[in-house]
A and B are shown apart, each in its own frame.
Chain A
Amino acid sequence: MKKDKKINEFLYFALRNKKLRVGLIIVLFFLVLAFIGPMLTHNKPFAYVNPRGAEPPSSEYWFGTTFFGQDVFAQFAHGLRATFLVGIIGGGLGTLIGILVGFTAGYRGGMVDEILNVLTNIVLVIPTAAVLLIIAAYLEVRSILMECIFIGFTAWPWAARAIRAQTFSLRTREFVDLARMSGMRSIKIIFTEIAPNMMSYLVMTFILQFGGAILIAATLNFIGLGPTNAVSLGLMMQIAVLWGALQLGSWWWFIPPGLAITAIVGALYVMNVGLDEVFNPKLREM
């Protein structure tokens, strides 16, 4: 009963928040497009369908065709799927590792905290993108899943730091002390007493990691170090730039993928601020 009320209250403020609404609509729009897009076209992303080469958008090819006569819309729709996949798996993995490290460090404190802290700082300071670049370059066949795992394993320190700080401040609250005195096990305390109190925080961390993973993946793909066996938005842009779409003025080739990434990640960030306002009444605009 009480829980229902809480959810209702959350929904009330969530739906009234303009930032959250706008962000959510944009993300959902692209998500739906990623689902149904590939079904709207029978062209394969890399098939040479238009013998006339590069052509601007038309009723036959909605986003035009590439220099080689490939259907840009087919590439775009399939690439969008890859983008969401990387966001969910890569961002999810990053969040998960961040949660594990953050909870452990923040709750246990002492030596464990020190060690994990040093580890987090080290991974934070090392420009992971450079490491990713090198690893990606040495693997000849790369799959999307592999890319997700790379990203997840290098993106967690931000999440870990933030979650550790929150756990640290919750650890000394009375209700946690009470739970500890009643003989509850640490793991149970973390998941039943601490985690629910920072659920909003965890959700926001996931959204940020989601957006971050998409950006990193786009960067890697753009330099040509992305998955070797799949289309992605970054790869589309790389091929476009490589084959002189800029010089030839084939804007339809590289604008859609760049715009989609910007829109998705930007919408995620805006959503995050909106959520912050929903969860934290102090931040709401008066």
Chain B
Amino acid sequence: MRRYFGRKLLIYVLTFFLAVTIDWLIPRFMPGNPVQTMLSRAALHAEAMEVMRGYYTRAFGLDVPIWQQYLNFWAALFHGDLGTSVYMFPTPVARVLARAVPYDLFLLIPSILLSWYAGNKFGAFAARSKWLDNTISPLGYVLTATPYMWILLAWFFGIVLGVFPIAGAYSFAMRPHLSWAFIGSVLHHWFLPFVSLFLVGFGGQAIGMRNMIIYELEADYSHYLEALGAPRRLVRKYAFRNAILPQITGLALSLGVIVAGALVTEVVFSYPGIGYLLLAAIQNQDYFLIQGCFLFIILGVLIANFAIDIAYVIIDPRTRRGMTGETA
């Protein structure tokens, strides 16, 4: 048990270290310069330019050797300091992110959990039932193959029906406060991004589960149970329990993909989460905001993965014994 978690933890720590390093490297070794961006925005005359350049270079900590910038980056990170945003100067990146994260959690957690649950139930149901398999499974394929769900959704609901808004997290006429009208507006704006994420996830899970169940139903133990005359329901129950395990691992592994999907969904619906922020940061060449967004995504994915690992140990008793010693 301890060894199992030890190994997992090692991988997480390594991943985190590597990801943070990549995160720090990418903006620095690519063309473009944030200080220049700030200066060109101000459009000053030459002398003032030089003074400002010096000021900004110091303010962003770019005046020390590159290795020291790297060490400073780590040191600041452990203090929760992610630097200052260039694009929304002088707001600290941490505060910009803190404003965006609630929207992400609000969007991602329900859509991931619900699509996983519903997709698995549904996939198990559809497997080996000719009628459902021929009607619903193709639908599942179409759903997984469509990153463009959101466009159609936006088109139908936002424009044709005019029922759901397609931009922002709440009505532009409101300010965030605690009232039923505001909560209603937030839910109203949340619906379309949620449904598009849910549907894409649902399709993938349903297809995966359908295939897993078919494999399980063809396994020896299922045939044996059938030969014993066990009712169909019982056989399916056992098949489901065996098939659900890879689906949990699958969920952990596909989190990165889901997050990517969420990034795009947010861009399409102008939903003010991390994805929307990341794109704005990229367009403004905002080093620090890009780093912050990326770091947050990494952290989120790692934490979610770890939670799934713990869940796995609880659900599958074999993990507790088997995986402690052996590696394969």
B73 interfacial contact with A, CB 8 Å: no
Q: How far is the CA of A273 from the CA of B15 in the complex (A)?
A: 33
Q: Which of B31, B148, B154 contacts A140 (CB 8 A)?
A: B31
Asked if A223 meets B267 with Cβ closer than 8 Å, knowing A121-B11, A134-B290, the reply is yes
Binds A, one of B106-114, B137-145, B171-179: B137-145
B window 155-184: CB within 8 A of A: 155, 158-159, 166
Name B294's contact: one of A114, A130, A218 (CB within 8 Å). A130
Q: How far is the CB of A112 from chain B (nearest CB, A)?
A: 13
Distance of B15 from chain A, by nearest CB (Å): 5
> Which residues of A222-255 are within 8 A (CB) of B?
222-223, 225, 237, 241, 246-247, 249, 251, 254
A135 CB–B CB distance under 8 Å? yes
Q: Which of B253, B279, B293, B297 contacts A223 (CB 8 A)?
A: B279
Known: A138-B26, A223-B264, A273-B211. A215 touches B147 (CB 8 A): yes
Which of B11, B145, B166, B283 interacts with A262 by CB under 8 Å? B145
Say whether A129 contacts B257, CB under 8 Å.
Answer: yes
Q: Does A133 contact B (CB under 8 A)?
A: yes
The stretch of A7-15, A84-92, A195-203, A263-271 that contacts the partner chain: A263-271
Compute how far the CA of A285 lies from the CA of B18 in the bound complex, rounded to whole angstroms. 46
CB distance from B28 to the nearest CB of A (A): 10
Q: Is the CB of B145 within 8 A of A127?
A: no
Q: B interface, by DSSP: helix, strand, loop or mixed? A: helix
Contact status B15-A241, CB under 8 Å: no
Q: Please name 13 further chain A to chain B contacts, defined as beta carbons within 8 Å, in addition to the given A125-B256, A276-B211, A283-B218, sorted by A numbering.
A: A122-B11, A126-B18, A127-B255, A127-B297, A128-B256, A131-B294, A222-B264, A237-B148, A247-B159, A265-B145, A268-B145, A269-B145, A269-B207
Residues of A bordering B, CB below 8 Å: 114, 118, 121-122, 124-131, 133-135, 137-140, 158, 168, 211, 215, 218-219, 222-223, 225, 237, 241, 246-247, 249, 251, 254, 258, 261-266, 268-270, 273, 276, 282-283, 285
Residues of B within 8 A of A (CB): 11-12, 14-15, 18-19, 22, 26-27, 30-32, 130, 138, 141-142, 144-148, 151-152, 154-155, 158-159, 166, 207, 211, 214-215, 218, 253, 255-257, 259-261, 263-264, 267-268, 278-279, 282-283, 290, 293-294, 297-298, 301-302, 305, 327-328
Enumerate 28 A-B pairs (CB-CB under 8 Å) in ascending A order: A122-B18, A125-B15, A125-B255, A125-B256, A126-B256, A127-B297, A129-B256, A129-B257, A129-B260, A129-B263, A130-B293, A130-B294, A133-B278, A134-B27, A135-B26, A168-B328, A215-B145, A218-B147, A218-B148, A246-B154, A262-B142, A262-B146, A265-B145, A266-B142, A266-B144, A282-B218, A283-B214, A285-B130
